[in-house]
Structures are given as C-alpha cells and as structure tokens.
Structure 1
Amino acid sequence: MISFTSSDLLDQAMIAMVTRFAAVFLLAMAVGGCTQTAGGPGRPSPKSQYLPGTIISAETGKPVSFEALIRDIETARVIYVGETHTRKADHRAQLKILKALDQQISDLVVGMEMFSRPYQPVLDAWSSGKLSEAAFIEDTHWYANWKFDYDLYKALLDYIREQRIALYALNIEFHIPSRVAAGGIDSLLAHDRARLPKSIFLDDSDHRQYVQDIFDKHGRAATRYSFEHFYQAQCVWEDVMAESVSRHLKDRLMLVFAGNGHITHKFGIPDRAFKRTAAPFKTVMPTSGYDAEDLRAADYIWITPDKSETPH
C-alpha cells in the first residue's frame, strides 16, 4: 500500500502528452475488462449455454429470476453493475436494475466511472433537473473525456435526471492514469499527485496477475514499458473510484456503474471500497459467456448478446 498525506495536496495541472502505448493499454482496460471477465484471471470465457437475459447466481451456479436478483442485492449497501461500454444490452440491464431499486429504495444514489470528480457540480445540476442534455454533454466534456457514444448512456442518465437521483463522479482526471502508466507514480508532478487517492493498494496478487495477463497480451510492445508502472496506473484507477464510493456512500445505498474490468473478481473497486467502508456489497456482471466451473467473477452473471451495438 502507498499512502499520501494532506501535505501532498496541490492544485491540478494538465499533462501535455502520454505515450501511445500507455493510451492503448488503458483504453483496452477501459472498454470493459478486455476478454477476461467470467473465466478467471488468464482464462477466456467460453460461450454461454444460456440465452441472453438469463441471470446466473454464483452461489448456486443456476439461473435466478430478476425478482430474486433484486431481493438479494437490495440487502447490500453498495451494488456494482458492470458493462462492456459499447454493448447496448449491458446498459439496458443496468437501467432495469436502476428502475427496480429506485422503486423500492428511498435513499438510492448512483456513482459512475464515466465522470471524473472535478465535474461533480455539473452532475449535481443534472440530477436537479437544471441542465439540458446539450449543456450536460458540453459541460462534462463528454466526448473529450469519456469518448463513447452518449446515446449508449442516454436512457440511464435521463432516468437519473427525471427521478432526481443523486449522481456522483467516481473517476480521477483521465490523463493521470495514463501518465502513471508511462512513468510511474513517482514521475507525477505535484499537481497531479495531489489528485491521487490517499491510499493505493498494490498487494493483491490475484489482481496483479489479472493485469499482468492483459499486459502480456501486448507482446513485444509491452517490453518497452514497465509492468510495475502499468500496474500502479490500474491501482490508481481502482482506488480513486473506491475512495469516491466511500466518500459519498454515507448511510445510503449506492448503485455503481463501471466497466467489467473494474469489478471482475471484486479485486478492483469493490474490495478496495470495502476496505474503506466495511459496507456489504454485491456485484452483477453482464457478459456474453461464463464459466460454470468458475463463478468467482461476480455474485451474479447476466448473459447479454455477444456483440457491441452502435446506437442510432
């Protein structure tokens, strides 16, 4: 674990450029965990024997109804629902869970990976119904920061605004993990170091192996860069979002939307948030396939179509 004190806190500064490889690697992680979701670290998931829409309980290895899923996860304090960012079916599953929980939980709040923390005032205005969609997209610099098609998230964000649900930005400024990947935490200027989470946990061997497996898939190109720096970058990413969850949870129930790569096997955001809050949590992972012999990836696997969709 790396710890930082309040003496490290300074204003933010922009970083001019990052290496191409760092950007490509982190984009691969961002899309939703690459190909390693429900098959265990280093193991690809086979095609599912179940039809899309089936929800599998990790506890029993058997399908459960949507109603049973909701009855179970609503007993937690934090619920993580993953996604492959470009898969519209995953976002439909997220919306279905959001609506069901909102009908039953009076103090429901939402946290999203898609926004970095400096944009919290914009999210507050959105949740209060004070911003148009056009203004929201512009003020969050959606396409400069997140880049994925807004229409993939439109239904989720519209519902949050319509129902006046508090929405929280979980992420760090997007250039910082890329900078860490390129040169390590020690390479950061004080401005960016100030944005890091107070604690960064680097001692989870399973998580390290998961990132190592992805790193190794880049072949000889990866040898030009330090795996330790890439691993630090991933942990910065996970820990800042975990820290954000702990800041905003309070005595409420939080529904978190993040890429599958950040919730798989719980060693990303979920376990790190638990270290900070001790609040019980559940994980739901939409995916096109799962390994019946290894359901450790999430508490529930939600089978979705095996394709990405471009919204029209």
Structure 2
Amino acid sequence: MIPEPGQWLRPDTGDIPSHPALMAEMAEAPVVLLGERHDRADNHRWQMQVAAGLLARRDRLVLGFEMFPARLDPVLADWVAGVLDEAAFLERAEWGSVWGFPPDLYLPLFHFCRLHRVPMIGLNCRRDLVREVGAGGWDSVPEAAREGLTPAAPASPAYRRYLFEVTGGPRPDRAAQSPEDPAFDRFVRAQQTWDRAFACRIADARARDPGALVVGIIGRGHLEYRGGTPAQLADLGIPEARVLLPWEGARPVPAGIGCAVFGLQETAGQA
C-alpha cells in the first residue's frame, strides 16, 4: 500500500489510523523515533507537527537530536531558556562544523522546543570515535575516550543486509561483495557506533526523567526495520521504542519498516 498525502499507514497491517488516534497511541510509548531525510524541509515540518501532537498528550517531552553531539547540551539548554538569539545559538552550537545542512531546515523544530520549553539534548558523539571504532573495534578505544558509551550489541544479519543494500550493494569498485564479507565490518562498526550513541543518550534521558517521553530526531537509515538505534535501545532495556517515518512518492511501503508512515506530497526541487 501507499499512503495518500496527509494519511497515516501501518505497514504491517495496512490500517489507516486517524492522526488523533495514532498520536494518542504513540504518546503512551517511552520513546518515539522520528526518521528523516536530512535535506528535506517537509520532513522536518512533519517532525515538528508530530512532536506537537505528542506534547498535547504528554506533559513532558525531551527532544534528542542526531545533529548535535552531547557535549553541546549546555548550549541547547541556553537556547531553550531564551538566553541566545538564533545567530548566537548556531555559532555556539558549531552548526557549520557539527552538521552543515542549512539551519533553516531545522529552525522550526528548534523554535518549537524554545516556545514550549521542551528540553533539547544532543544524541551524537565525536566523529573521531566513529572512525576509531570503525578502524579498530570498540576495544581499541581507551575507556576515557568512549564518552560514557557502551559497546554496541552485534548487528543482526538482517541489519547487515540492509546496510549493504542501502550503500549500493555489490559493485566492481567495492571491496565488500556481500553483507557477510569481512571487508564490510569496518562500515558496520562505524554505523553501529552512531546507533549505540543515539540509544545511550536516549536511555540516559529516560533514566534522568522516567516520566518524560523522549522523541528522537534521527536519520531514517538508523531506524528503518529496527536494526539500528531501535535494536540498541532494546539491548539497553527499552524495547518499546516506536518508529515513525515520512513517506513520499509512489513506492509501496514494505512491511516492517516502521510502526507507521505518513504520506507527504512529492515536491519538485526537494531531494
């Protein structure tokens, strides 16, 4: 099935729930993960609208962003508190170096948090940690350099297949020719470092405020089919995380990709 623009669809059943009914259901979860394509403004407007729907049903939200490393949490707190204007926030948050996509794509989400005093947290880690784990494995990184993270649970065969296919599958110019190829291990280790970092930060936020609903703003490749961050959250004792995804175009929605997808209008000029 394919959702119409403005319509929710449950891929596993084909049901088309109403927006109020789905928001009420999602608001009962401990964690809701909202996927995105980073360069699509409509994905971020959708995320903001879902966050608003959840806030109408839960008195406490925390929004976690892949876009920021956790070390910038004090800057995010100053933004939410109204201490910084946009320019100062983006400068202090090192936007041009830690993320780099146009800030206008994300500012509606940031202003939503500021307007409603919703805490913002960074979910990411330093890029060098990702490279170091990819190159040498978790045990090659000194404990003091691990940023308080724990090692990722092993990637399932299904997740390895997913990563292999979304990165282009077998090609003559590629060292790894199958998902099981040891030449693919380095990429999987690196990807899982991000998956685990996001999961650890979300789990920490839940531990600090068990009554809050944590909403993750994360690239969809870390969420689809539950192989990335959702699997790591389950390993950390939070198996109930729900995955919602935007959907555009005429592609049928495959079963298992997420709890529900929302139809967006395919717009010329957007990636």
TM-score by length of 2: 0.87
Contact 1:78/1:281 (8 A) holds in 2: yes
Query: Residue 160 of structure 2 corresponds to which residue in structure 1?
Result: 208
Q: How does 1:257-296 map to 2 (within 5 A)?
A: 257-278=217-238, 280-289=240-249, 290-292=251-253, 294-296=254-256
Would the aligned equivalents of 2:133 and 2:141 in 1 still touch at CA under 8 Å? no
Partner of 1:199: 151
Match of 2:190 in 1: 233
Change (3 A) 1:309 1:248: farther
**Contact conserved, 1:197 with 1:236, CA < 8 A, in 2?**
no
The residue aligned with 1:14 is: none
Say if 2:79 is the partner of 1:122.
no
2:21 aligned partner: 68
Range with greater deviation from structure 2 (77-86 or 218-227): 218-227
- Give the distance between the partners of 1:59 and 1:227, measured in 2 at CA: 30
Greater displacement, 61-70 / 132-141: 61-70
1:165 counterpart (98, 112, 118): 118
d(CA) in 1 for partners of 2:24, 2:262: 16
User: Partners of 1:62 and 1:302 in 2: how far apart?
Assistant: 12
3-state SS, counterpart of residue 285 of structure 1: strand
CA 1:80/1:227 → structure 2, altered by over 3 Å: closer, same or farther?
Answer: same
1:218 CA displacement: 7.2
* Amino acid corresponding to residue 230 of structure 1 in structure 2: F
In structure 1, the residue matched to 2:10 is 57
1:84 counterpart (37, 55, 66): 37
Q: What residue in structure 1 maps to residue 179 of structure 2? A: none
Aligned mates of 1:106, 1:274 — CA distance in 2:
25
* Distance in structure 2 (CA, Å) of the matches to 1:51 and 1:88: 19
CA contact (8 A) 2:152 2:193 kept: yes
2:3 & 2:155 partners in 1: Cα distance? Answer: 36
Query: What's the CA shift for 1:279?
Result: 5.5
Match of 2:201 in 1: 244
**Does 1:95 pair with 2:48?**
yes
Distance in 2 (CA, whole Å) between partners of 1:279 and 1:303 is 26
The alpha carbon displacement at 1:243 in A equals 0.6
- Is the contact between residue 78 and residue 279 of structure 1 (CA under 8 Å) also seen in structure 2? no
Distance in 1, matches of 2:36 and 2:79, equals 23
- Displacement of 1:278 in angstroms is 3.0
Structure 2: runs of 5+ lacking an equivalent: 177-181
SS of equivalent residue, structure 2 residue 223: helix
Identity among equivalent pairs (%): 24
- For structure 1, the 5+ residue unaligned runs are 1-47
Give deviations 1:110-137, integer Å, cap 9, x for gaps: 1111111111111111121211111110
| TM-score, reference length from structure 1 | 0.76
